Amino acid sequence: MLKLMLLLLLISFVNVVHSDTKDIIVSYNGYYSTKFRQNLLPKTFITKIQARPIEFSDFDLVKIESGNFENFTRAISKIKVILKISEDKTHFRNLNGFKKVSLGPNKFSSKHYLDIRQIADLIRADRLWMKGFMGEGIDIAVFDTGITRRRTFFKNVKSIYDFTNEGNSADLIGHGTFVAGLIASSRRRCSGIAPKSNLHIYKVFTNQQLSTTSWFLDAFNMALQSKIHIINLSIGGPDFTDEPFMSKVHEITSNGIIIISAIGNDGPVFGTLNNPADQGDVIGVGGINLEEKIAKFSSRGMTTWELPEGYGRIKPDIVTYGSQIFGPSLYGGCRSLSGTSVAAPVITGAVAILLSSIPEERRRNPAMIKQILAEGAKKLETNASMFEQGSGKLDLPASFYYLQKYLPKISFFPSYIDYLECPYMWPYCSQPIYSDGLPTIFNITIFNGYGIGGEIINELIFEPFEDDNGAFLDVHLEYSHKIWPWSGHLAIFVKIKPEASNFNGTSSAQIRLKVKTTNKIHETIFKFRVKIIPTPLKSQRILWDQFRQMRYPPGYFARDNLEQKNSPLDWNADHPHTNFKDLYEHLRGNGYFIEISGYPLICINLSSYSMLVIVDPEEEYFPAEINAIQMAVKNDNLNVIIFADWFNSTLIKKIQFMDDNTGKLWFPETGGCNIPALNSLLNVFGFAFGDVILNGKFEFGNSIINFSSGSTLIKAPKNAKLGMAKLNDIKNT
């Protein structure tokens, strides 16, 4: 019972108290006055209409009794100006910073000052200050925990708004104050990067680190009304399905406002990107330490929206200093914090300086800013891949140079793919491609510096380079016909033709596309080079079943390892290039080739592989798939390796919870693994897993194996060879 109580406590982002009401966001097709909106709503089913802080709004927040939800939905479906309704989600966040040094106002001295690396010095902001560019005329909204009442560090705080239910804009945590200080502190100690920029403080998190979607929507609307240039979001989370929030982000950037967001502090695991930093129209910022290495805490790619059928995009966009950085404290001194929530305002301050160097009419172009940041960035002299560092480390003077000579253009991120550039091009460069293999997918982001929208016209043209064996490439292209807002995507599926089954070398090609913007047509080219090897032996080829993987969001999928306390959710995709990176590299280091399937196994020629690897499957198997696997094992010597996590129906019921903000009961879709579905496959081979959950360690060969929240084998064929270990039943721990 103690264990079950612990699991409930881990789900700390909601209250487990039942609620008979729902908080519903009603979205309109435009901005309407309070009176007009309230006259539209069917008040018969509404308990309360929450007042909006802005007279003209594009949404309302209403409270309705759960029993009236269907009647309410039917009533508003007849109102043409209402676009949709959605739940007002609760957002919790970790400040992701830790205190290193505190220099109070009476402890500061010249000696202490010499010991502090000022962030403005680290990014060479002084070079632009000497030219007279310090952020003057740039309005920055800081979405955070408010600001201290003792604003001795700030000269240009133009407005302060509290969008929370606390009724108090004061920052009692210190996070919002610190972030604002990194951007625009005007004091010599703990100096800001853009000290002459205008700060607008938008408190969207309570002092308990709680927020809601509706508070963010109000703050975004205020930013639109106030003609803000830059929004700093030192926040984020794994949910990329909060549709009202994401749509509002698109609206904000489509109005020329630049959003800069922390990529997250869930590193060093891959596949840990936070939203909204993982959106194409947002600048996602990762962190490096003072040794110019990727900070261990910094989240990293790839994006997981596109899985299982596709492949993720590259994020973060850029990295900068985020470890042991000094900024103002609540009480007038300086302190040190670390986190990507520290790195994001560094980029915000840098962008403010850059914008202050150009006329107002050129400032509202998020794609342009992304392009000049990428062009100026310097690749880290480490083994960090593009999925860790994006374009590289911020180089403010270089980006300033590119901005001054900037001409609108269409660009790509990454700008090219080259299998010969390792480790930056990991994971692509880590495994050559070959004939008979599954397609390799490059997911490329397109940026449109000409304007908010564009259209890819005609068919894209694939042009193989004859002088570099381009004829061996078999390429399929998918792309967004519309580029909006500011960005689109190009997916390149690459296979190798049968005639290259014995070829060893490189192969290159380019994709030519035309983009129409404001009645003009612009042509641009994306180039790539791959490494081809002879098709490996069947004994070296492994098929990874990605199609079986399901995760949060959108459903509630519980964590695989119940002992891991930092998150109750399974959200890292269980992919060889995300949280199974170590296993992938171990297999590659031992001469195996891993092909990743995002489709049902009946679409794959299983006879080409020696091993099928199934890891923590949540999705069920089709009868035809079970038959195909059975036949491949019997006739083609296919080996099936299964990693099965926990499943226990009693425990699953225990970790359900009620989100009293939405009135929705969250019930796990399955355990760490869908054992009943897996048993439907194993049954044809005479095996079955049970529902006892075990933890512990055991010896296997020369290794000590850590067995975490695993299943037990309860059925096996008569002649099966089984491993035995003495482990602990978690109900007894």
Catalytic residues: 144, 175, 341
- C-alpha span between 294 and 706 (Å, rounded): 28
Q: Name, in order, each residue with C-beta under 8 angstroms of 228's C-beta and a sequence gap of 6 or more.
A: 139, 140, 141, 200, 257
Name the residue type at position 701: G
Q: At what angle do helices 340-356 and 396-404 cross, to 10 degrees?
A: 30
2 C-beta neighbours (distance < 10 Å), count: 7
Give how far Cα 617 sits from Cα of 18, 366, 557, 566, 677, Å.
31, 40, 11, 22, 8
CA distance 216 to 143: 8
Give residue 471's identity as a one-letter amino acid code: A
Return the ∠ at Cα 124 (arms to 119 and 125), rounded to 5°: 80
Distances (CA, A) of 389 to 16, 380, 394, 413, 732: 39, 8, 10, 12, 44
The C-alpha angle with vertex 114 and arms to 113 and 119, in degrees rounded to 5, equals 75
What residues contact 435, with CB distance under 8 A and at least 6 apart? 495, 496, 497, 498, 499, 500, 501, 535
The CA-to-CA distance between both ends of the chain, in Å, stands at 9
How far apart are alpha carbons 369 and 284 in whole angstroms?
12
Q: Which amino acid is it at 562?
A: L
Residue 127 bridge partners (DSSP): none
Q: What's the length of the chain?
A: 733
d(CA 705, CA 717): 25
Contact 57, 31 (CB under 8 A): yes
Burial call 185-206: b when 16+ CB within 10 Å, e when fewer:
bebebbbbbbbbbbbbbbbbbb
Angstrom distance (rounded) from CA 351 to CA 184 = 12
**120, 191 contact by CB (below 8 A):** yes
CB 349 within 8 A of CB 373: no
Task: Give the helix ranges, DSSP H, for 131-212.
Answer: 175-184
Q: Tell me the pairing of strands 541-545 and 611-615.
A: parallel
Which residues touch 487 (CB under 8 Å, ≥6 apart)? 280, 281, 367, 445, 446, 447, 448
Identify the DSSP state of 415.
Answer: S
User: d(Cα 10, Cα 3) in Å, to the nearest integer?
Assistant: 11
Q: Is 192 helix (H, G, I), strand (E, B) or coil?
A: coil
Q: How many other β-carbons are positioned within 10 Å of the β-carbon of residue 486?
A: 26
Do 379 and 425 touch, CB atoms closer than 8 A?
no
> Look-up: residue for tokens 């560019």?
133
Inter-residue contact 223 to 229 (CB < 8 Å): no
Question: Any idea what the Cα angle at residue 284 is, between residues 278 and 289, rounded to 5°?
Answer: 130
In angstroms, the CA 725 to CA 704 distance is 12
Angle, CA of 97, 92 and 564, to the nearest 5°: 75
